[in-house]
Amino acid sequence: MEKVITYIIGDIVLSENPGNALKKWRNLFNIQQIELAKYLNVSPSVISDYEVGRRKNPGVNIIKKYVLALIEIDKERGGHTIKALNKILNKSPSIKAILSIKEYENPIPLKEFVDLIDGEFVVNTNNLDIPIYGHTVVDSIKAILEMNGDDFYHLYGWTTERALIFSNVSTGKSPMVAVRVSIMKPRVVVLQGIDKTKIDKLAIKLAEIDNIPLITTQLDLKDLIKVLNEIK
């Protein structure tokens, strides 16, 4: 628990935009402004002012109160987010299947993300403004051969609100089965190097069941990683 609290506080304090970082973590915990404000005994406008920068940058004491409130609210709900973050933080970072992993300082809308990677929708969504907070590029073959169920948590970095990108894909079936059986779901799944017409029908069906946008990109893997790592 202490590791999680320290990490979140550090992430906010060291951020170039603490307001955005506050909002990012509140969204990751799936807590509404009004609920957090009630817990902190302030008006929702106070929370909003800090998050959009209308008030001066919050000090460490305010950030700590904000984070502890997120933790306590999550504990009252069963502590699912805390448990997931603990698993991620305590996992070894040396998983060879992961080719690139990054959290974005500022989330980008799904449509902009898809444009950046020259992507095509296979399974679409009605909301193209869905925020993407990060990405993980994983070698699908190495993942199948080397990763166990617990390792899968490490693919999510510090948030599931991210793009999970599988390279070395033949039909897309295995990656989508892995996503389907996992408790944690990514915001979007990208299959690299495969034509959309060759994607297995089961992979498409599983994406539809979980309501996960499924995208393909024909970008070369090195070019794709370069583009992704340039996102701020």
pTM over 0.75: no
Buried/exposed 94-110: b ≥16 CB within 10 Å, e otherwise: ebebbbbbbebeebbeb
Residue 73 burial (CB count, 10 A): 18
**Digit-coded pLDDT (tens) for 104-124:** 878 899 999 999 999 999 998
Quote the tokens at residue 72: 């306590």
φ/ψ region of 30 (left if φ > 0, alpha if ψ in -120 to 50, else beta) reads left
Instruction: Measure the CA–CA gap between 149 and 168, rounded to whole angstroms.
Output: 20
pLDDT category at 93 given cuts 50, 70, 90 is very low
**Digit-coded pLDDT (tens) for 133-169:** 899 999 988 877 776 656 666 677 667 789 999 998 8
- The answer to whether residue 90 scores a pLDDT higher than 80 is no
Q: Do residues 77 and 49 touch, judged by C-beta distance below 8 A?
A: no
